[in-house]
């Protein structure tokens, strides 16, 4: 059976939803899980939520999906490591009639019930505009930018890069010095920045695809006394992390990337209870915002 046009209605006493989270090592994921658990609590005994941690490995997520299918769960939520690896398993679950909601990082298979996340290309563009303004404004911007990428096998990594590039590449005076993949990790970003600053200290802006990597880059710059000269841009905007670092003047700005767990659960429950109709492959886009000095004072 193929779950198309996803509406289901059930009178089962308890619904079971399986969630495969890519990792719990990053602060954004911890908050994501906390908010999801809190939301699950609102459904009381009506819902049993099984939350699994994939330890940053696609193969574990494939196993999670298989185990959810074997358990006969009513719906699956997944926030995948990268775009391609889980597609086949998600297709299998979908074809068995289990609604699958993909959260934050999109996948290549598009027959799932829904995708929920923010507009990563738009966030990249917003960061690009911020960089252009810091370097003198459209048509006049001049300076050197180093980019630290999140995982480029994931859609947020690709889109944050492409959106940023679309804006800054219009400026003849901006040079992008390249950018390595730090897989969203603070330590890797710090190492990359240490290496880069050994050969080139002439950098005006470091644009990192998330706040932990921006902070890692900042730490490396501080070791060689360049933390004031270089401006840092991040993404996520968690109150105790990116937003706080902006307030402290560590980052020039960050861009809010809301966690999609609560919405994901709400949509899954809506499908199962028959109160929400969605089109197969529906995209639900969460809103974002720029967090800079002007709005954190
Ligand atoms: C956490 C994270 C966030 C980032 C998101 C992108 O694992 O790296 O910092 O915004 O994933 O998918």
Kindly give the number of the ligand 1 atom that is closest to the alpha carbon of 184.
8
In the prediction, which pLDDT does 4 show? 45
In the prediction, which pLDDT does 5 show? 53
Contact residues of ligand 1, CB 6 A cut-off: 23, 26, 28-29, 104-105, 150, 154, 156, 184, 210, 235-236, 257
Residue with the bigger pLDDT between 276 and 133: it is 133
Give SS3 for 20. Answer: strand
Torsion of CA 205, 211, 214, 215, to 10 degrees: 130
Instruction: Quote the CA–CA distance of 24 and 293 in Å, as a whole number.
Output: 29
Percentage of the chain modeled with pLDDT above 90 = 93
Beta bridge partners of 20: 52, 78
Candidate of 22, 24, 29 to mutate for ligand 1, largest count of ligand atoms within 8 Å of Cβ = 29
Burial class from Cβ neighbours inside 10 Å (0-12, 13-18, 19+) for residue 292 reads middle
pTM for the whole structure: 0.94
127-154 confidence digits (pLDDT tens): 999 999 999 999 999 999 999 999 999 9
200-226 confidence digits (pLDDT tens): 999 999 999 999 999 999 999 999 999
2-58 confidence digits (pLDDT tens): 444 555 666 688 999 999 999 999 999 999 999 999 999 999 999 999 999 999 999
Summarize the confidence of residues 253-264 as an average pLDDT: 98
Give SS3 for 233. Answer: strand
Q: What is the edge-to-edge ordering of all strands in the sheet holding 205-208?
A: 174-181, 143-149, 205-208, 231-236, 253-256, 290-292
Percentage of the chain modeled with pLDDT above 70 = 96
- Domain at 120-256: CATH architecture: 3-Layer(aba) Sandwich (3.40)
Domains 15-118+259-287 and 120-256 share a fold: yes
Q: Which two tokens stand for residue 272?
A: 């199962």
295 pLDDT tier (thresholds 50, 70, 90)? confident
Domain segments of the chain as ranges: 15-118+259-287, 120-256
Class of domain 15-118+259-287: alpha beta
* Nearest-CA residue for atom 6 of ligand 1: 156
Task: Give the helix ranges, DSSP H, for 76-119.
Answer: 87-95
């Amino acid at each position: 059976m193929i779950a198309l046009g996803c509406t289901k209605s059930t009178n089962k006493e308890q619904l079971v939803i399986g969630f495969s989270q890519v990792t719990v090592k990053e602060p954004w994921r911890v908050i994501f899980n906390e908010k999801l658990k809190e939301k699950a609590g609102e459904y009381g005994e009506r819902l049993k939520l099984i939350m699994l941690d994939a330890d940053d490995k696609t193969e574990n997520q494939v196993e999670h999906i298989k185990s959810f299918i074997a358990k006969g769960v009513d719906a699956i939520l997944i926030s995948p490591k990268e775009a391609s690896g889980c597609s086949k398993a998600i297709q299998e679950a979908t074809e068995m009639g289990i609604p699958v909601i993909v959260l934050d990082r999109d996948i290549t298979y598009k027959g799932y019930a829904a995708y929920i996340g923010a507009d990563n290309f738009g966030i990249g563009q917003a960061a690009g505009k911020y960089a252009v303004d810091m370097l003198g404004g459209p048509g006049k911007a001049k300076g050197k930018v180093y980019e630290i990428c999140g995982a480029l096998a994931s859609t947020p990594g690709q889109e944050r890069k492409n959106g940023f590039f679309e804006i800054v590449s219009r400026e003849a005076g901006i040079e992008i010095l390249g950018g390595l993949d730090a897989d969203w990790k603070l330590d890797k970003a710090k190492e990359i920045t240490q290496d880069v600053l050994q050969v080139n200290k002439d950098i005006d802006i470091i644009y990192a695809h998330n706040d932990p990597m921006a902070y890692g880059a900042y730490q490396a710059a501080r070791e060689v006394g360049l933390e004031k000269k270089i401006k840092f841009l991040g993404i996520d905007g968690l109150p105790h992390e990116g937003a706080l670092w902006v307030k402290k003047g560590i980052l020039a700005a960050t861009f809010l990337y809301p966690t999609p767990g609560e919405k994901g659960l709400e949509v899954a429950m809506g499908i199962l209870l028959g109160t929400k109709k969605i089109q197969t492959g529906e995209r639900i886009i969460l809103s974002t915002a720029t967090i800079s000095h002007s709005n954190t004072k």
